[in-house]
Each structure stands twice: as structure tokens, then as C-alpha cells.
Structure 1
């Protein structure tokens, strides 16, 4: 089997926000898939902040 030269395409975004007292916990999960081999990957960003971080939008 040959190694795939991935061509990832955006599929979906999930956003989670939990109340964590003074700051809220923000988590964003972007899902991509390869058009050639159908492999899926998730890009995860998370952090704590009082307001929404720029990357959360």
C-alpha cells in the first residue's frame, strides 16, 4: 500500500464552554478528513478566559 499524500478538507467544528468559576473553560474541535484515504484528524484548541478568545469564534 502506498503512503497517502493527504489532502485534508474541513468537515465540522464543535465548540464547548464550561463554567469554571472566575474563568470559563473554552474548547474548540475542528475536524478534517483526507479526500484521498478518508483519514480523519481533529485539531483541538482549549484554554481558560473571562471572555471568548479570538480562536473560539
Structure 2
């Protein structure tokens, strides 16, 4: 849980800094970006699960 909180805090700080210096946010479109991140995570988990089954 601490890791999630620190990640959120880092993201908020980066967002504030980028907006303060008038740069575009270094993030994908909101919903598509979140879905893509979950997809990458679950893809990695599926690979680990499949590797364990095959070994």
C-alpha cells in the first residue's frame, strides 16, 4: 500500500511541475492510458502464470 501512495504522490508532483513550467503532461489519455497500464500488468502476470505451469 505504501508503494501505491508513493507512486500517486510522485505522479501528482510531476503533474504540478509540468503544468507550472507549461509543458504537456507526460501521460497518455486518461482512460486509454489506465487501461493500457492494467493490460501491461496483467499480461506480465499471465506470462508468469503460464511459465510456472510449463516448468
Shorter-chain TM-score tier: under 0.3
State the TM-score, normalized to the length of structure 2: 0.18
Q: Greater strand share, 1 or 2?
A: 1
Greater relative contact order: 1 or 2 (C-alpha under 8 angstroms, separation 6 or more)? 1
Q: Greater helix share, 1 or 2?
A: 2
